[in-house]
Structure 1
Amino acid sequence: MSDKIEKGKAGEDLAAQFLIDKGYQVLARNYRFKRSEIDLIAQKDNCLVFVEVKLRTTDAFGYPEEFVNEKKAGKIMEGADQYIYELKWKGNIRFDIVAIRQIKGKTELVQIEDAFY
């Protein structure tokens, strides 16, 4: 497994536990539909949350959340539409980013709610 894939999985593990600790139930990881992949799908109360996880080990190129562009958001929304259809979900939905910064031995996680729609 490549270093990038291992870091991505480690980031998703951190983000999943972060959400669980905040009272979310993680329903799916790495959900795929056509060319879309959603890192985490979680639920809290009557809200289904589609989560993009971004991990960075340097600030040299910007903050993690700045790397979710319009194209990526569109693919996530396409996958979310399919998941909602499969689940026959009637509640609220939200698109979040969990930004992870691991710099100089410190790990910081931030949840950005309603990051895009």
Structure 2
Amino acid sequence: MAQHNDTGKQGEAEAAKYLREQGFEIMFRNYRYQHAEIDLIAKKGKLMVFVEVKTRTNLSHGNPEEFVSYTKAKLVMKAAEQYIFANNWLHDIRFDIIAVTIAGSELRVKHIEDAFY
């Protein structure tokens, strides 16, 4: 597997761990609908959060969260709409970004709530 795939998987695992530590239950990882994918779907009480995880090992080109494009956000929202419909979710939702930076042995997790809508 390519190094960037391993980095992405490590970032998603760290994001899921972080969310669990914040009291969220991970409902789904890598939810796919048509051409869209949601990295993590988490729930806390009556709040469902759809999370895009971005992981970088080098910040020379910018912070991880800067790499979530308008097109990617639209795809996440499209997949979330399908998930909400399929699961008859009638409560609050939110779209977040979790930016993970891995530099050597240092790991940083940045949670951005309401990142897009």
TM-score after normalising by structure 2? 0.97
RMSD: 0.8
Match of 1:5 in 2: 5
Give, in whole Å, the separation in 2 of the partners of 1:29 and 1:101: 20
Kept after mapping to 1: 8 A contact 2:7/2:56: no
Structure 1 residue ranges, 4+ long, deviating more than 4 angstroms after superposition: none
- The number of aligned residues is 117
Give, in whole Å, the separation in 1 of the partners of 2:88 and 2:110: 30
> Displacement of 1:103 after TM fit?
1.9
Give, in whole Å, the separation in 2 of the partners of 1:5 and 1:43: 26
Match of 1:40 in 2: 40
Task: Give unpaired runs (5+ residues) of structure 2.
Answer: none
> Does residue 1:112 correspond to 2:112, yes or no?
yes
Give, in whole Å, the separation in 1 of the partners of 2:27 and 2:41: 6
Q: How does 1:1-117 map to 2 (within 5 A)?
A: 1-117=1-117
Alignment-mate amino acid for residue 69 of structure 1 = S
Alignment-mate amino acid for residue 69 of structure 2 = N
1:79-106: CA deviation from partner (whole Å, max 9, x where unpaired): 0000000000000000000001112421
The 3-state SS of whatever aligns with 1:88 is coil
1:8-59: CA deviation from partner (whole Å, max 9, x where unpaired): 1111111101100010000000000000000000001111000000011111
Give, in whole Å, the separation in 2 of the partners of 1:10 and 1:86: 29
Kept after mapping to 1: 8 A contact 2:54/2:64: yes
The 3-state SS of whatever aligns with 1:78 is helix
Give, in whole Å, the separation in 2 of the partners of 1:12 and 1:104: 17
